[in-house]
Amino acid sequence: MDGNELAAQFIGDTRWNGLPDSVQHKVKMCLVDIIAAIAGGVSTPISDIAAGYAPVAWPGDDATILLHDTRAGASGAAFANACAANALDCDDGGAYRPPYVALTSTAR
């Protein structure tokens, strides 16, 4: 089993209720943090540009471009949502800000 398979198995076997309280708290704080970064960045020009470009470059109806009332293919939505999260450069660093934009950028 290679590293990708081991990681996939670990993720697949992990259950929320099996995580320690401190880990659950950290996950919740990271989620709040990235939502705040997206909410702040969505009103910036780069977010508007990305939200307009993504459905053209990655057409589809797979995922939502958050707070833009637009959908695109999963890759396009991930791109546009990551642009919004990074627009104010507050998506990484700090107590609850690991570089996780790529992991949280696709919303179904």
pLDDT digits (tens, 9 = 90+) for 13-63: 999 999 999 989 988 888 888 888 889 999 999 999 999 999 999 999 999
pLDDT for position 32? 84
pLDDT class of 97 with cuts at 50, 70, 90: low
Residue 22, token pair as written in the block: 């401190």
pLDDT class of 72 with cuts at 50, 70, 90: very high
State how far the Cα of 64 lies from the Cα of 96, in Å rounded to an integer: 24
84-94: buried (b, 16+ CB within 10 Å) or exposed (e) per residue?
Answer: bbbbbebbeee
**DSSP per-residue string spanning 82-104:** HHHHHTTT-SSSSTT--S-HHHH
Where exactly are the structural domains of the chain? Answer: 29-104
pTM to 2 decimal places: 0.75
Which of 68, 38, 40, 45 has the alpha carbon at shortest distance from 55?
68
